Amino acid sequence: MGKTKAINERKTKFGTEPVGKLLISLAVPAIIANLVNALYNVVDQIFIGQKIGFLGNAATNVAFPLTTICLAIGLMTGVGAATNFNLELGRKRPKRAKSVAGTAATILLLSGVILCILINIFLKSMLTAFGATDQIFNYAIEYTQITSLGIPFLLFSIGANPMVRADGNAFYSMLAIVIGAVTNTILDPLFMFGFDMGMDGAAWATVIGQFISAVMLGLYFFRFKSVKFELKDFKIKIREIGILFALGTSPFIFQCSALIIQIVTNNLLKVYGANSIYGSEIPIAVAGIVMKINVIFIAILLGLTQGAQPIAGFNYGAKKYSRVWEILKLTLKVAFIISLVSFAVFQIFPIQIISIFGKGSNLYFKYGTKYMRVFLFFIFLNGIQGAITMFLTSIGKASQGAFLSLVRQIISLLPLLIILPHFMGVDGIMFAFPIADFIAFAVSVIVLKGEMKKIPKKDETY
């Protein structure tokens, strides 16, 4: 009886409450959670830059692909499970909803342990492949050997977070990430400067923060409002794996593509930077800083789309198509505003932003200013492209979402990264990104128009 009441309340909330009010209630906590989560790497980068210098920043950039691997697996599993959870509740099938969520939770834990073991076995060869130079290598090893121990907790947190939001408790999902990140922020200066632990201190602060977030999110599975989990629900079911992986294909492909781009970019910066006035280390350090700054923008955008995801998914599953159209239009408008503001900030204050991450030579700041302005030039279009991709995934259009993820990273950006430096040297690397952004935006609009023609504008009785 209690379970039925919870599902009916959810139906009333997602199916009848004003879309704008719903989006605010779900997106704001998600944005805060993602922003705070993004600060894990940004805070480390800031304190490392102040303590170690730009070589420390370059080392964290070389290690960052490991975080991207966690994002790929975690978001594929978590977003896939959350999307299916909402669709199944919209279809009035709560047993199937908790089956896929329970399977996802167990897969996240097992994947984290396996990934931690593999990273420690192949760590040195992996960091070399990620673009580490001789000056960077020891710092990268020191940092990554410790942070790898937190990978099971990081992976579980990434995947469990969208599932908690899918239950309608965006505040708790935010709280779990915020508490972990605040812990990391407090411990970073304490360990690095107070205990003089250097890179080790930043790494241990990160692991402890990730552990706290994971524990909080894990405990929530026994407090779900929409369904009541039992231990048997966490047994991995083969039939659910295909569903959650299919619906999580888009974020998985996006992150895997990002991983390839990060590795290729680092190695290109290493090679072409060595032949420039900047050397290899300055371009690698700058690229890492700008990428982390871009992660802040992505965190805001991702929080917006994550807030829209359960609304779009539930109403699409319930065949309330007028509300599906409404949430799409609202999400696109807000995404564009966020992107436009971000564009203005990054173009006007590049030196001030880069200075937060530590001191450097005039050459360092010259390259950093130029790299940031060029790299983020079309960021005001990225918001729309990202919102379209997540929307298509949230209504079960996994293949279309996956295709759009591939367009920017692999189909457009990768060839540009390889071709442009032949003509422009190290500067060609930064120009590849805005060109790929524009191409991805144009293709996303075309795909969205085609898909929306298939969706009725009037509701159907389920």
pLDDT digits (tens, 9 = 90+) for 333-362: 999 999 999 999 999 999 998 888 877 788
Q: Identify the residue with better confidence: 252 or 287.
A: 287
Burial level of 98, CB count in 10 A (0-12/13-18/19+)? buried
Q: Identify the residue with better confidence: 242 or 123.
A: 123
C-alpha angle with apex 217: 212 to 220, nearest 5 degrees?
130
Closest CA to 390 of 276, 322, 311: 311
| Residue 12 pLDDT | 55
| Residue 62 pLDDT | 82
- CA dist 234 and 105 (Å) reads 7
pTM (two decimals): 0.72
Q: Identify the residue with better confidence: 129 or 254.
A: 129
| Residue 373 pLDDT | 94
pLDDT at 7 over 50: no
Closest CA to 201 of 189, 183, 185, 186: 189
In tens, the pLDDT along 129-154 reads: 888 888 888 888 888 889 899 999 99
Q: Which residues of 186-196 are buried (b: 16+ CB within 10 A; e: fewer)?
A: ebbbebbeeee
Compute the radius of gyration of the chain from its Cα atoms: 22
- The answer for residues whose C-beta is within 8 angstroms of residue 155's C-beta and 6 or more apart is 70, 73, 74, 108, 111, 112, 115
| Residue 1 pLDDT | 46
pLDDT at 284 over 50: yes
Closest CA to 87 of 101, 102, 75, 68: 101
C-alpha angle with apex 119: 115 to 122, nearest 5 degrees?
140
| Residue 385 pLDDT | 85
Domain boundaries of the chain, sorted by first residue:
18-236, 250-456
**Tokens, residue 252:** 């998985």
Confidence bin at 35 (pLDDT 50/70/90)? confident
pLDDT at 95 over 60: yes
| Residue 461 pLDDT | 53
pLDDT at 319 over 50: yes
pLDDT at 216 over 90: yes
How many CA atoms, within 13 angstroms, populate the side-chain half-sphere of residue 106?
16
| Residue 173 pLDDT | 83
- CA dist 391 and 384 (Å) reads 10
In tens, the pLDDT along 405-460 reads: 788 888 899 999 999 999 999 999 999 999 999 999 999 999 888 878 877 777 66
Q: Give the chain's mean pLDDT.
A: 83
Confidence bin at 165 (pLDDT 50/70/90)? confident
| Residue 460 pLDDT | 62
pLDDT at 462 over 50: no
